[in-house]
Amino acid sequence: MLEVKGDALDGAFEAVLNDEKIAALEADVVALRALMAARNVEGQRPALDGVKGVDIDPQRAAFVDRYLRRGQEAGVELKSFSGASGPVGGYAVPREIDALIEATLKAVSPIRAIANVVKTGTAGYRKLVTTGGIASGWASETGARAETATPTFAEIAPPGGELFANPAASQAMLDDAAFDVEGWLAREIAREFAAAEGAAFVNGNGTNRPKGFLTYPVTAEADTVRAFGTLQYVASGAAGAFASSGAADRLIDLVQALKASYRQGAAFVMNSKTLAGIRKLKTSDGQFLWQPGLAGSAPATLLGYPVVEAEDMPDVAADSLSVAFGNFANGYVVAERNETSILRDPYSNKPFVHFYAVKRIGGAVANSEAIKVMKFAVS
């Protein structure tokens, strides 16, 4: 009898173990089927940039798949375009796409890459700058201390406006599952933004756009006597050209006109045509002033300072300001709103869908002592 009971108990244990094994196998099958389904979905449409594993950012998916491709507004964050008209609005670009636009802008727009870029929450950005130092003096241990002079402040309010781009894509392209909508949109917006803002940072008149640093008044006066907001220039020695002798000396004068504290991090700015002429200049012993970068990522240098090519700088001509040298991180400020807004327009130009992108950008010279220019004139 005892042996019979032991056999029955062992059989009961085996049945329980078999049930647990079957349940575990069923769970493995369900998990495997879910994994295969997820891989099939991934194979049908490439994952968006920044996606981790199979988890998709809901905001980003709603923006790309619903709004950009099909124009569905459900689940997309709304941003008002105008403070005066609330119903007229666009849609905020997800942070990953906006960051991609900014990274491309920095790579394309040379002034943005070397300027001080400030992210603002409103369009009314203000910056206070001291225009005079604090006077000091010496005194004995018990001597009287006279009152020192107080510094004066100037307010910098970078003028700006709404920079917009309006790229278009056909609806057939948007319906194509293999078409990278966000990559195409980021490239198109960045290309158009970079061209427009690059010109404004150099030559903008300050009306509904940034004020370019070349539009500020210039004088040959030194920093100690020059009015605030006026740039100092160094003459090239000849009208529309360098002097027949001593061209290198003029460039050295331009460098040394900048205070030593600003020369750390300073750079030359000119266009390609001007740089082509300067690259041919030699010292008295036959050495070129321009030196190529020793490494692949190292920039070319002129008198030991990097050269930034900005095609919006003017060509060399009589009285032109074709070469700039300065620390633009201290000298020029770019104020921009954090978000880029998108308005989808499938109606104006059928069968194309336009994406009207808007971003508020301002710019101004913040410190006129940190930027020097060369004037191609006799004096």
In the chain, domain spans: 58-130+151-208+335-365, 215-332+370-375
Q: Is 370 strand, coil or helix?
A: coil
pLDDT at residue number 144: 87
- The predicted pLDDT at position 47 comes to 42
Residue 45 DSSP symbol? S
pTM of the model: 0.71
The phi, psi pair for 152, rounded to 5°, reads -105, 150
Condensed to tens digits (0 to 9), the pLDDT of residues 292-323 reads: 877 666 778 999 999 999 999 999 999 999 99
- Assigned architecture for domain 215-332+370-375: 2-Layer Sandwich (3.30)
Residue 170 has a pLDDT of 87
**Residue at 76: amino acid letter:** V
Handedness of CA 240, 241, 242, 244 (dihedral sign): negative
Euclidean distance between the first and the last CA atom of the chain, given in angstroms as a whole number = 123
Contact 203, 313 (CB under 8 A): no
Cα–Cα distance, 200 to 110 (Å, whole number): 12
The greatest distance separating any two alpha carbons of the chain, rounded to the nearest whole angstrom, comes to: 124
Residue 80: the pLDDT is 41
Question: Residue holding tokens 């949109």?
Answer: 185
| CA dist., res. 344 & res. 322, Å (int) | 41
Encoding tokens for residue 233? 């220039």
pLDDT at 209: 93
CB 81 within 8 A of CB 89: yes
pLDDT at 174: 80
Please list the ranges in the chain whose pLDDT falls under 70: 1-26, 29-96, 122-123, 131-135, 177-179, 295-297, 338
Q: State the Cα–Cα distance between residues 200 and 160, nearest whole angstrom.
A: 10
Residue 46 is predicted with a pLDDT of 43
Q: Which CATH class is domain 58-130+151-208+335-365?
A: alpha beta
Kindly state the tokens that stand for 215. 């539009």
